[in-house]
Amino acid sequence: NAGVTQTPKFQVLKTGQSMTLQCAQDMNHNSMYWYRQDPGMGLRLIYYSASEGTTDKGEVPNGYNVSRLNKREFSLRLESAAPSQTSVYFCASILTGAGYGYTFGSGTRLTVV
Amino acid sequence: LAKTTQPISMDSYEGQEVNITCSHNNIATNDYITWYQQFPSQGPRFIIQGYKTKVTNEVASLFIPADRKSSTLSLPRVSLSDTAVYYCLVGDMGSSNTGKLIFGQGTTLQVKP
């Protein structure tokens, strides 16, 4: 099925551990985004990639790094996880100019203990 | 990016029409207005996007006055399954832009039987 695929769906980390969240889309979208959503809150933009080979910081980039591996894949890395990074992480993509809005993945629920 | 203001919560009853208004006084010339719907434990889902006047699709209508400083999402004859958080966003979604969007708190719509 066409869409945005995120892995893993759930993850528990210990403080200080590292991990990479994977995101892939098969819709030939040019732009991709990583958001986090804390309980009862709206989404906050972490990083985005307007096109293959470019990445830019969003509202809350500290503690994260990203890689736009190719047009399809955009990964988010936590180098040293902290409890404050406990959240649900959503990846999204869009073909800018097409008028159909973002397509979101189903999310990764991350708990840092 | 233009900031948006929308009510934190709204209540309605099944079968009623619901109108959610969003204020975006600082909207720029190239900005589009986009609405998303989010159910618990899911990523947001694109509902509708417009630039001016009225846009209608199978799910909702979007009304935008001439000055574009506000917009109204209209949901006809809501059902219990329309209970969700609705986000209003403003940004340049043109093909040459990043498509970056900043989410606010959204409006939590509770539909009652």
Residue with tokens 């955009």: A74
| Residue A27 CB-half CA count within 13 A | 23
Q: Does B107 touch chain A (CB under 8 A)?
A: no
Give me the residue from B99, B105, B106 closest to A31, CB to CB: B99
Q: For A34-59, what is the mean pLDDT? A: 92
Which among A93, A79, A76 has a CA at the least distance from the CA of A36?
A: A76
More confident residue, B112 or B3: B112
pLDDT computed for residue A1 by the predictor: 58
Question: What pLDDT does residue B105 have?
Answer: 83
Asked if residue B27 lies in contact with residue B35, where contact means CB atoms within 8 angstroms, the answer is no
- Cβ contacts (< 8 Å) between A58 and chain B: which residues? 100
- Taking contacts as CB-CB distances below 8 angstroms, the residues of chain A near B100 are 31, 33, 45, 48, 50, 56, 58
At residue B96, the pLDDT reads 65
Judging contacts by C-beta atoms under 8 Å, the chain B residues touching residue A56 are 98, 100
Q: Which ranges constitute the DSSP H helices of chain A?
A: none
Helix/strand/coil percent split, chain B, to 5: 5, 45, 50
Residue A42's pLDDT is what? 87
Q: Given a cut of 80, is residue A70 above it in pLDDT?
A: yes
Quick: pLDDT tens for B69-102.
999 999 999 999 999 999 999 988 766 677 788 8
User: Which residue in chain B is spatially nearest to A94 when comparing CA positions?
Assistant: B99
Looking at residue B16, the DSSP 8-state letter turns out to be: -
Looking at the complex, does the CB of residue B91 fall below 8 Å from at least one CB of chain A? no
Q: Which two three-digit tokens encode residue A29? A: 């979208």
CA B88 – CA B64 distance, rounded (Å): 12
